[in-house]
Amino acid sequence: MNRINVISKKLYKIGLVVSLAIFLLFIFYDIHNLESNSKRYLSDHYISEGVQETGAINIVTSVLYDYRAFDTLGEATVLLTAAAILSFLVPITKDKMRGTPFTIIVSQTTQVFIPFLAILGMYLIFFGHLAPGGGFVGGVVIALIPILLTITYRVEFSEYKFKPDKKKVSEDIGAIGFVLIGLLGILTGSNFLANGQANVSLGDAGELISAGLIPYLNIMIGIKVGAGLAIIFNSLIKEK
């Protein structure tokens, strides 16, 4: 009797999932058949006018840091909140990771590797408006440095090199910097997070110093994401 109960419960769950899937399938089928390709004026505008209006060759960057920069501020805040939650929720105790089980090859290679990671991260951040990349991606690469230190040499060493307090402060500074750069728009008589509209010189598209305020926003997001991810990783690896 008990087994029948278990099986029927399982069937019930599977049935729910399958019926939801069939429902979604029909909806998606209907939506797909609808002729909605004519309504792409927003993305068409971004593609055709994006370079003139924002000065950034990378369209993704121009949408993320100019047209919809306010969303980026919100997403950065979500990341900051997540990092803050993890760092206070996870108990601060000594880690139980094994000492250094790696051979000397690993630790030596890590040392060689780190400058390259720094250069790559910097490149992704600073050239975010010209090439694929940007603050989020560059920040992740920068965050790899403390993460690599943690994995290779344990948490203590990583936190000795990059103090947790310093990381938290630099995360906050990145977020504050983003808002302050946005406020420049208000100071010049336009709106919050305005770039070209606030008469900021956009420069020649394709140069390193161009696209107005976008590179600086990229740097701020890079600092914030790098510090935030490092905090998240180190908080998660600490165990009771």
Partner 1 sequence: MEAAVWVIILPLLTAFFIGISKVYVKKIFVPLVISSAIIYLYLLILVINNSYPPNVYSVGAWRLIGINLMVDPFSGLFLLIIALLFLPVIIFSVKYIKSYKHEYFIFTYIMTAGIAGMVLTADLFNLYVFLEVSSLSSCALVALKKTNKGLEGAYKYLVMSTLGSFFILLATILTYYLTGTLNIAEISLEFNEIPFKIKSALMAFFVFGYVLKIGLIPLHFWLPDTYEDSPIPYNVLSSGLVMKSAVYALIKVLYIIFGIDFLDKSGLLQIGVFWGVITFIVAHLLAFQQSNLSRLLAYSSIAQIAYIMIGLFVGTEGGLIGGNFHILNHAIMKGTLFLVTAIFYYSLSAVNIEDIKGLAYKFPILSFTFVVASLAIVGLPPFNGFISKWLIVEAALESGFVYAAFFILVGTFLSLTYYLKVIITLYTKNDKEIVVEEPGLSLSLPTIFLGSLCIVFGVVPSLPLRLINKIPTFLLDNGEYIRVLLGG
Binding span for partner 1 by CB under 8 A among 60-68, 125-133, 135-143, 154-162: 60-68
Site map (CB under 8 A) of partner 1, residues 147-176, x = contact: ------------------x--xx-xxx-xx
User: What does the alpha-carbon distance between residue 122 and residue 65 come to, in Å, rounded to a whole number?
Assistant: 18
- Give yes or no for residue 197 binding partner 1 (CB under 8 A): yes
Kindly state whether residue 42 participates in binding partner 1, applying the rule CB under 8 A: yes
Q: What string of H, E and C letters represents the secondary structure of the chain?
A: CHHHHHHHHHHHHHHHHHHHHHHHHHHHHHHHHCCCCCCCHHHHHHHHHHHHHHCCCCHHHHHHHHHCHHHHHHHHHHHHHHHHHHHHHCCCCCCCCCCCCCCHHHHHHHHHHHHHHHHHHHHHHHCCCCCCCCHHHHHHHHHHHHHHHHHHHHHHHHHHHCCHHHHHHHHHHHHHHHHHHHHHHHHCCCCCCCCCCCCCCCCCCCCCCCCCCHHHHHHHHHHHHHHHHHHHHHHHHCCC
- Please say which residue, 144 or 182, places its beta carbon nearer to partner 1: 182
Q: Does 41 bind partner 1 (CB under 8 A)?
A: yes
Q: CB nearer to partner 1: give 67 or 233.
A: 67
Instruction: Work out whether 128 is an interface residue with partner 1 (CB under 8 A).
Output: no
- Residue 11 vs 25, nearer CB to partner 1: 25
| From 46, 126, 127, 136, residue interacting with partner 1 (rule: CB under 8 A) | 46
Q: Which is nearer to partner 1, 108 or 199 (CB)?
A: 199
**Residue whose CB is less far from partner 1, 110 or 197:** 197
Residues 87-126 vs partner 1: string with x where CB under 8 A? -xx-------------------------------------
Q: Which of residues 70-89 bind partner 1 (CB under 8 A)?
A: 70-71, 73-75, 77-78, 80-82, 84-85, 88-89
